Structures are given as structure tokens and as C-alpha cells.
A and B are shown apart, each in its own frame.
Chain A
Amino acid sequence: MKIKRRSQKEEKTDLDLMPVISIMAVCICFLLLATVFVKNGALSSKQALGSEFESKADTSLSLWIYVENARAVDVAIHGGVAATGKTERRKISLANLKAFLSDVRSQHSQMTTALLFPSEAAPLASVVRVMDLLKQNEFKDVGVAPL
């Protein structure tokens, strides 16, 4: 009986949590400083250098987008049809552009090139928005034509 009582007393041990809390507090401070809450990225555009554009552009099917303002864009499909001089240019609102691009991709799965023609007054936000929608629809080669 005596042995039993002793062992019961010895089992009552307290775990000192203060060092754990100290380490955790330091970790939290470090992570709070290191964490980036607003993540910034970038949208890349593949630009043609020199005569590269002239040699490549007309051989493959590509989508040309004219960004005039923050509300609407003009779109035209170039490539096989462009060789015969037939290109349709139609106006689409930015809100409907996503649906249009997915339609284009489903119809022309080989089309991965898009060229943007921003106007002088086109805000950067619109250009980036169009580029973003193109990237979302798997357009790999997106270029921005200088004015």
C-alpha cells in the first residue's frame, strides 16, 4: 500500500509551458513580419523583336484585341482568314470578353497567340484585365503592340 501511494504522488507532475509560449511568441512575431498579405505578381507579355513579328504573325491563327477604353474592346481573328484579307472586327464589352474568349478557344484550340493594341487613352487596368482573361483562357503568347 505504501508503495502505491508514493507512485501516485510522483505521477502528479506539471508541465512548464512558459518556454513553449516564449518560442511560439517569437515565431509569431517573425512570421507576422515575414508574411505578405497582399500578394503581387506580374502578367507577362511576349514581345516580338525586330522583324520577328512580320515573319511569324501571319502564319498562325491569332486573336487581335483593340483596347479602346475601360468598358469595351474590339476583337478580330487573324491568320488563315487574314491571308485572304478577310478579318471581322467586332465590339465586345469587357464583361462579355471572358465568355467570348472561352468560345474562341473551344472553336480554335490551336490558337494560343493574342496581340493587344491599346489606344492612347486606354488605362493600364484595362490592358492588364484583358491580358489576365487571355491567360485564364490558356493563350500562351500574349503580346502588346506599342503605339
Chain B
Amino acid sequence: MKYLRSDKKRKKRSVATLTLTSLVDCFSILIVYLLSATVFGENSIDVPHGLTLPSAEKTEIATAGPKVILFNGQLTVDDKPVSIAELRQVLVAKLSGNPEWQKDPSVIIQADANTPFDEINPIVSASLQAGFAKVLFAAEEGGELL
């Protein structure tokens, strides 16, 4: 009996209250930070894993347009592999198929920062021939500059 009583006392003593106010404070700060960092309703550029974009300070939001990616020598337009020879035709088809793009025809080029321009040049030329007057070079905002 004595043992039982002492056990009951112990149980009573072990009841502890957790102060949750500080936790709520931390959560609130986290939510405010994440809300300010989140970008809602803007076109984000998905970069393939391993591709290092060049850095820039004054970038703009990439408007709608076909995304041409040159990565490891492989050319893709909106995630579909194409050859350099086919690129112009593909871009013409993309432009004619999207009336919204015809108002301000722009193409977004993604390539590694160290890619020499002679590899980018065929993409720029094909884009111009296809009727894209605005060529956008994807860049990482505020990264390590040269």
C-alpha cells in the first residue's frame, strides 16, 4: 500500500505543462519569412540538375515563350529533344501554335555559364529566323559574379 501511495504521488508530480507560446512565436516568424520569400504567380525557370546558369543582378521575369535548353551538348525545346537542324522549324511551329506568344515573341535560352558562344549562336540565329525578336538568356539572380 505504501508503495502504491508513493507511486500515485510520483504520478501527480510528473504532470508537467508545456509552454507552447514560444513555439507559436517561432512558427509565426517562420511563416512571415517564408511568405515574404515565396514568389506567387510568376513564371519560374526550372533548371536541369547540374546546369550552372550565369549570374546577373538585374534580371527580369521570364515571360512566356519556348524554353530552349542546351545541356551536355543536348538541345531540348520545352523538354523535347531536337537537333540544331530541326530547331528553326520547331520554333516556327511553336510560335504559330501560340497566338499569345505572337504579341511579343520571345525565346528563353538556358545554357551553362561556361558554354562558348559558338554553341549558343545557332540557337540565337534559329530563333531570329523563326521570328523571335526577343532573346532571353536565363540567369541566376544575385549569384557569384565574375
Residues of A within 8 A of B (CB): 17-18, 20-21, 24-25, 27-28, 31-32, 34-49, 67, 70, 94, 118-129, 131-132, 135-136, 144, 146-147
Q: What is the minimal beta-carbon distance from A48 to any residue of chain B, in angstroms?
A: 8
Interface string of B111-144 (1 = CB under 8 A from A): 1111111101100110110011111111111100
Q: What is the minimal beta-carbon distance from B84 to any residue of chain A, in angstroms?
A: 14
In the A-B complex, the 9 residue pairs with the closest CB atoms: A41-B59, A31-B34, A42-B136, A125-B113, A128-B54, A120-B118, A132-B56, A24-B27, A118-B117
A-B contacts, 7 listed (Cβ < 8 Å): A40-B45, A40-B59, A123-B113, A123-B114, A129-B54, A132-B145, A146-B125
Q: Contact between A121 and B34 (Cβ–Cβ < 8 Å)?
A: no
Q: Contact between A41 and B61 (Cβ–Cβ < 8 Å)?
A: yes
Chain B hits for A119, CB < 8 A: 117
Across the interface, A40 reaches (CB within 8 A) one of B35, B111, B135, B140, namely B140
Q: Contact between B39 and A127 (Cβ–Cβ < 8 Å)?
A: no
Chain A hits for B56, CB < 8 A: 41, 43, 128-129, 131-132
Q: How far apart sit A123 and B117, CA to CA, in the bound complex (Å)? A: 6
Interface class of chain B by DSSP: mixed
Chain B hits for A45, CB < 8 A: 134-137
Q: How far apart sit A125 and B146, CA to CA, in the bound complex (Å)? A: 8
Q: How far apart sit A35 and B132, CA to CA, in the bound complex (Å)? A: 31
Chain B hits for A47, CB < 8 A: 124, 127-128, 132-135
Interface segment out of the listed B6-14, B16-24, B74-82: B16-24
Q: How far apart sit A27 and B35, CA to CA, in the bound complex (Å)? A: 10
Q: Contact between B45 and A49 (Cβ–Cβ < 8 Å)?
A: no
Q: Contact between A40 and B44 (Cβ–Cβ < 8 Å)?
A: yes
Q: What is the minimal beta-carbon distance from A53 to any residue of chain B, in angstroms?
A: 11
